[in-house]
Structure 1
Amino acid sequence: MLYWWSKFVLLGPLMRLFCRPSIEGAENVPVRGGAILASNHLAVADSFFLPLMLPRRVTFLAKREYFTEPGIRGWFKRQFFSGVGQVPVDRSGGSAARATMDTAVRLLGEGKLLGIYPEGTRSPDGKLYKGKTGVARMALEGGVRVVPVVMVGTDKVNPIGSKMWRPRKVRIVIGEPLDFSRYEGMAGDRFIERSMTDEIMYNLMELSGQTYVDLYAASVKERAAAGAPPPAPARGAGQRPDAHVPDSRAS
């Protein structure tokens, strides 16, 4: 109930008024059952516009700290994050990755749409960075298809470091689902998971037109925060990911 209240009564009308969001390929999202929506990540606003433009609820995994702050402020934060479809995950400790995976697989098993950002963090400069293989492991363990999603313009609405959103046009492009069922039972094979992830990133690059960089966005951000010069372009920078598997859409 709170999700729909936020979507249609609180945030939704303002987002539609000021950002005139549009969507292409919404028919590629399954009407029922579990699936992963794998998206590029330009801004915090991505997690608001995608659920707004789809009829099905989209669930994102969020840091548990967003839901544990005490007092009135904490209550409002819990209501807000729950209202936009976020589920708390404990990312502390050595078992954090397993806890996140278990939560994702459980949600997929319940037939939920799970929103994932394979890059792991927002792009620091609008380029598309190397994907982390967790998305592949989730797809294999959950036995679901992966739907590539591209956000366009959210970095203009919500630039990194901005406190106020700006009225800019937002567009969402959704590609055809990728079926990795041929790898059933192969979760944990690092080569398979890397190849699957690279195929997902290649589809995102094709849909978005972004320049692909064969580096993790988090490492680029860490170097920038430390005042280090940008790393020399790695093999594949500005090119396609090295996806060594056949196109999932081929028969």
Structure 2
Amino acid sequence: MGKRYFGLCGSSPAWLIAEIASSAKQVLLICKDKRSVESIEADLRFFLGSEQVLVFSDWDILPFEPLSPQAFISADRIATLNGLLTRKNYVCVTSIDTLAQKILEPSFIESTKFEIYKNSPLERDALRAKLSALGYSEVSLVEETGECAIRGSVVDIFASGLSKPVRVHFDAGSIAAIKTFDPDSQRTLDEIHSFLLLPVKEYSFDFCPFQEIVFAIKLRAKELEVPPREVARITRALRIGTHFPGVELFQS
């Protein structure tokens, strides 16, 4: 039977979790609500350091509301899930409500993430197609997570899990340089050797046969009691490549 602790207050719960993490290595901390997550996160970062603390946040939308989470929220969630798959030591903080929401299959992240290296052979248009498939929005100026911009032989990307966007320079079918830049001033900062490109959307429709997608949507729509007219509108939107608000709710 597990141990129970009583009378903890202030920063003592975070200190206790940090002590447990020193031997348990991988800890999942489930808080009662979003406010509790935010409260203990800061204390855990103090005791453990930011690198060891992962936060799996909620979508910040009401249950079954026909809206999609903001891109930076999905990007943060995906980066956290990737951290759970790749890190040996971590404390992951989340809430009960968050765990009640849809969560991506680990296989989706493993099959879609893409490491980009300096001097590796890669065409600009191939990267553009990859970015589109992973849910990145093409804009004129990259300022937020989930955005990309293409100007000649230069591609700017603000990828999931990165603190700063990157600027990828192409030359003769390969990557000549990768540099970080400031999203506010757009000034180039440091040159790096590689970065990990993760999805920024929490559904995998671009990687499934269309008929399987339609079947999954109809099945899920029946569970949610979605009107047939709305189901028809959704399937038409997907057929022409339009991703509708609230699409994450229809994952099987």
Q: Normalised by the size of structure 1, how large is the TM-score? A: 0.26
Higher strand share: 2
The structure number with the bigger radius of gyration is: 2
Q: Normalised by the size of structure 2, how large is the TM-score? A: 0.26
